[in-house]
Chain A
Amino acid sequence: MNKRIFLDPLFKNNPIPVLALGICSALAVTVKLEPAMVMALSVTLVTGFSSMILSLLRNTIPNRIRIIVQLVVVAALVILVDQILKAFAWEISKQLSVFVGLIITNCIIMGRIEAFALYNKPFPSLVDGLANGLGYGIILIAVSIVRELLGSGTLIGYQVIPQQWYVANGGFYENNGLFILPPMALIILGLIVWVFNAKNAKRV
């Protein structure tokens, strides 16, 4: 049971390509691999722990004010993540800028709380939250690898494409500027959606 809760959001019901949640930040923070990884980690932690905490509280929250309670919990966790990043990873925090704060509006978090955590025990909720965060992270990392490699020729800041290939050094190669621009993130994401749809269609 727990294994299925963990694996399902990674592939079959991946939040970004299948459920189409959390697309906005997937477009915004995937120019470079490093910020994307940090973002993936942050979202994973926030979804995991907010799901767990709200699952613990699920029998005490009055139904009519549950959204406010959810927001308080999520916001507290997001502020925590934001402060930790500012304290220990200032450079990346600066790159991610407003998007860490905007984790609170990430549809995946509220979606999982509403759909799963309010009806399940704390541990499965934690697993579900973490897995959905990881599913989000996988897509983020896949997109950002393509974009950083082709757009900047680097991965996590290290030069991957040999320097002597570049035109400036007598070679033939040039970085593709389009991959740095947001439209290409959307196109890559579209291609990933295509792959997932094709795979899921076969399984049915």
Chain B
Amino acid sequence: MKWIENIIEKIKPAFSKGGRLAFLHSTFNAFETFLMVPGTVTGKGSHIRDCNDLKRVMIVVVIALIPCLLFGMYNTGLQHYLAMDPRAELPGFFPVFWYGFLKVLPLVIVSYVVGLGIEFTIAQIRGHEVNEGYLVTGMLIPLIVPVTIPLWMLALAVAFAVLIGKEIFGGTGMNIWNPALLARAFLFFSYPAYMTGGKVWVVDGTSGATPLAALAEGTPLQELPSWTDMFLGFIPGSVGETSLVCILLGAAILLYTGVASWKIMISCVAGAVLIALTGDIPVHYHLVMGGFAFGCVFMATDPVTSPQTETGKWIFGFLTGALTITIRLYNPGYPEGMMLAILLMNTFSPLIDHVVVSVNVKRRIKRIARHG
């Protein structure tokens, strides 16, 4: 690794103040800190020192997403071959995976190129450092869209999410809504025909409905894929959301490293189960269908857009889960409610924090008054 350091040290003067390429200093800084420990660290003072900086946290989330991504690629290929001829022999693991890989890879590339392009440009214009926040968003976006989405629509949605959803509010850490979900919401309302309904899964001319969409159109539960299939993920759906196994694997990574809040995940499931008990569809089906599990693990737990207080996290998660299933069961307009539920609760999370804090303040004032 020494040689990388040497190269960086050699070209550094050109990017520093007064250097030939000084206008690119943010870009240089981004790559330098991406590869190496930052050149400037605080020497003294009462700072808490920890190896977990923003970059490492983001990388952990990306690693947690990789099982979903790989499975999504395989599943895309699988759905393609099943749609062509359900009775034919599958051509083996690698051709199936390769087909899906070629379908999913462009989504990932477009998401990263457009998103990072905008991030770098804006950081450069404002003279800020480039933030790492997009690493996760850029991986999430391809995982929550149908694989058949045209690439230019995806690019537009990414641009919208990064510019309107994040940069306007001041960049990473300042956004009100989860940027990845905002990109999905943009697509959902802009091009509804490509996002929901029975015609989404057009892989080379054949179409299939996701279990949730089929359910919304009145297909009886017996004709849906089996619960085991939905649990394992061999069903049509957005790239990363189908397999609960991979999502649980990701959840385990996030919880073990302490990146995501287990309180939000647990209370989210609790809220969903409670509302699901009032409907006709068995509760355990709700947990494996659609984007519920994926949203619960990877989106609702976004540390920026969820409440900061511990009590607030319980409330936030519970309401997110409850709202999701409420939308699924009682709103005929939308078959899936996870996206809208999380975005709505994102909007309310500052309020939840405010209420929790002020209730706490009141409680403590009362205690002081009592003990005098």
CB within 8 Å of B: which residues of A?
A: 172, 174, 176-179, 181, 183, 187
Contact = CB atoms under 8 A, between A and B. Distances in A.
B358 to A, nearest CB: 29
A179 B152 CA distance: 17
A177 B191 CA distance: 6
17 contacts: A172-B150, A172-B152, A174-B150, A174-B153, A174-B191, A174-B193, A176-B190, A176-B191, A177-B189, A177-B190, A177-B191, A177-B192, A178-B189, A178-B190, A179-B190, A181-B189, A187-B164
B199 to A, nearest CB: 12
Interface in B143-192: 150, 152-153, 164, 186, 189-192
Chain A interface main SS type: helix
A178 to B, nearest CB: 4
In the A-B complex, the 9 residue pairs with the smallest Cβ-Cβ separation, listed nearest first, are A178-B190, A178-B189, A176-B190, A177-B190, A174-B191, A177-B189, A177-B192, A181-B189, A187-B164
A164 to B, nearest CB: 16
Nearest to A181: B189
Interface of B: 150, 152-153, 164, 186, 189-194
A183 B150 CA distance: 24
Contacts of B194: 174
A154 B294 CA distance: 39
A197 to B, nearest CB: 13
Contacts of B150: 172, 174
A176 B189 CA distance: 8
Contacts of A187: 164
A183 B165 CA distance: 13
Nearest to A179: B190
Contacts of B152: 172
Contacts of A179: 190
A145 to B, nearest CB: 18
A172 to B, nearest CB: 7
A17 to B, nearest CB: 16
A179 B186 CA distance: 10
Contacts of B164: 187
Given A174-B191, A174-B193, A174-B194, 10 more contacts: A172-B152, A174-B153, A176-B190, A176-B191, A177-B191, A177-B192, A178-B189, A179-B190, A183-B189, A187-B164
Contacts of B153: 174
A196 to B, nearest CB: 15
A177 B193 CA distance: 10
Contacts of A181: 189
Contacts of B186: 178
A39 B190 CA distance: 26
Contacts of A183: 189
Nearest to B151: A172
Nearest to A183: B189
A178 B186 CA distance: 7
Contacts of A177: 189-192
Most buried by B among A174, A181, A183: A174
Most buried by A among B150, B153, B189, B193: B189
A181 B189 CA distance: 8
A183 B347 CA distance: 15
A183 B152 CA distance: 22
B12 to A, nearest CB: 34
A183 B343 CA distance: 14
Nearest to B193: A174
Nearest to B150: A172
Nearest to B189: A178
Nearest to A176: B190
A183 B189 CA distance: 10
Nearest to B152: A172
B126 to A, nearest CB: 14
Most buried by B among A174, A177, A178, A187: A178
A176 B186 CA distance: 9
Nearest to B187: A178
B321 to A, nearest CB: 25
A178 B164 CA distance: 14
A41 to B, nearest CB: 31
A43 B150 CA distance: 42
Nearest to B185: A178
A44 to B, nearest CB: 31
A178 B157 CA distance: 11
Nearest to A174: B191
Nearest to B156: A176
